[in-house]
Structure 1
Amino acid sequence: MGTPGREMRIPLLEEQEEVVPDRITSVLVLSAFFAVCGSYVFGNAVSYSSPAESGIMDELGLSLAEYSVFGSLLTVGGLLGALCSGKIADLIGRRGAMWVIDVAGIIGWCAIFLSESAWSLDLGRLLLGFGVGLASYVVPVYIAEVTPKNLRGGFVSLCMLVIACGMSMTYIIGTVLNWRILACLGSIPCLLQLVGLFLVPESPRWLAKIGRERDMEAALQRLRGKNADISKETSEIEIYIETLQEVSEYRIFYIFQRKYAQALTVGLGLMVFQQLGGLNAYAFYMSSILERAGASSTAGSITTAIVQLAANIAAVFLMDKFGRRPLLLVSASGACLAGFLIGLSFLLQDYHQSTDVVSALTFIGIVVFTGFFSIGLGGIPWIIMAEVSEKSDFPNKREGIGREPSEFGQLDRLLACGLHIQLFL
């Protein structure tokens, strides 16, 4: 058995030859589709507070401070969800964890829809945040574990794209619908995933981990196709699980070694900077920012939604063509410029400059920020976190200790998000 003081390498599936099917099966497509419904819930929940702000405050008579608490509770719930995401996914499985997301989401949206006071709004928002924190880990893990090697990258990249779709659709629909109806619509992806997960198999790796070899083989056969040869992949999963057990006694502090310092600094540092850039403040309160600058919140929301969706689609194609680092530099530079424009607009407002100039700068700044942020900083830090983890030889990357870099990323992101929201308020 290995010891913490010795170099150890886990034979990951990704590092061995695999016999994988050339075609995409219907079961695989359905599995990915119902899984990314959780990503849509993520985007929907994050962007809900922006179009709903004026309606909720007017109808329920909330003060600005009370509504700020409502918006920020998504982060608190997300932190709780991220803290226990790994344990829940390992205890009841990937599908079971996604059912928890759906139940929390349905109850949360219903609490918001039926709200007559601040406490039920806050409870609903907290439950939504818990589901978001859980989804940020479980959804990409499930997709990665059911997808063959030659398709894995493309399928996992769908998560960020669907989050952007959820945010964009909420911004657009929120300009024409009442906040209660918008909350009601938010429960539809939860219901769809809740029912759809009964039709797709559990993760073969998780089934193998808990000793259900026959179920693992049956699930793998469904995913790869009736006539596909799964013997090679089955044996590799079994070898991988056996190796997991040899290092199961190690804990999170094992990764705090000098040889992992650069990987942790790069990966977690990008997560922090991703959130300190201000995305969540703009996402939660974009309508309020535009209105205070004298700009149209409706036009701003629709334009931002279109730009955000287009930028995320472009990122999928540009990421492998130009590389992570150049795209990050362009993204960070553009987001920095946009933030400067927004800050300058409110500085000019303090000096009683032209309202047209202030509103134009704010409008342009938010749209430019959203576009540049989405094309790089929005998704690339998550990819780099996974890549530096593998290149730096973190033990047991997908399970056990190896889950820590990923969970650190979630906690880092959510803590930074909470800090930035408090600074914004």
Structure 2
Amino acid sequence: MTVTSAPGRRAHDGHDDGIVPVPPPPRSPLSAGTWREITHLLCNFPLDVVAFALLVSWLAASLGLSVTVIGLPLLALVLGGCRQYGKLERARARALLGVRVDEPSPPRALERGFFPWLWARLKDPVGWRHALYVFVRLPWGILSFALTFVSLFVAWPALPWVARGLTNVDRALVRGLLSPSDELERRIAELESGRGTVVDTAAADLRRIERDLHDGAQARLVALAMGLGLAKEKLLEDPDAAARMVDEAHGEVKLALQELRDLARGIHPAILTDRGLGPALSALAARCTVPVTVTADLGTRPAPAIEGIAYFTVSELLQNVSKHAQARSASVDVWRAEDRLLIQVRDDGCGGARPAAGSGLAGLSERLGSVDGLFVLDSPAGGPTQITAELPWRSAP
């Protein structure tokens, strides 16, 4: 008979063999997240030492040469290098620590030229904070590496807690010193993206206007000039034919004028400038193939730029209603809510509208976003469709 007991095992077979030690249970493996944290901590020491040595040597060189013409440009390049190292550290924190930090916007010079460029980089707060990060990291990198190394081989059971505590400090350093300066930084980045959208839209509009002028009014005026030239030649020898040609030219003049009016309306309608957004939207609704009810409750007028964006937003939405909605009726409501201009366009059509990439709705959303506006689409399959656009209210001068 064999009897076992913890913590050892005694064998009874007529002889006393003593205690046979029971091996300890295997250590549970660490989670993948903990191993990523350990990897991050073990990489701290070599990266921090190299970054600190490079920064100190280059800073010393740039400050030592500051009395020469290359000292300050060298310092500007050092701060740019700190920005690049910060980009590397943000990527490392994102991959190993799960910390996602927005990229700071680049330094901006108010004017073109070397000296505005140099001044913008020398007073760049992001570059200086990244340099401070490198200085702070050296003692912390040595300490965190040592504690992790000791825990890895001596204090194994405490390693997950040690790793989590040390990497929480790393997370705080990344968020505090490597993130954009403030909300303004993030807003600038958004506005830069919006500015690109506005530039692209303006370029597309210019190309459309050029195409319409070339293919429409310009071609018609060229034909008109040729017709009047032929009429002039026939004026004496065939007055009746010349009269018919003048009549045809008169008709061409009317058509050219109508095309120019339509083109001017597409740029900025006169009724919008003269009477404001409400009457302009009513005139727009009158040209829609679907009956449209317009309600405008504004009181005062916003800035011309906001009026123009609101007008062309409603114009494109009503074109979509005419072409795709299969609606029997639609409505346009415009009102002011504190410092915002709100537009709501509804139709009782088939619904299912989606702002797919490259579509008109996606373009409207981008255009409104570029001026700090909003675009909300509610269009279930089967309808109805309701689109709400919101723009900042900026009073007319």
Same fold at TM > 0.5: no
Larger RCO (CA within 8 A; separation ≥ 6): 1
Whose strand fraction is larger, Structure 1's or Structure 2's? 2
Larger Rg: 2
Range class of TM-score, shorter chain: under 0.3
TM-score by length of 2: 0.26
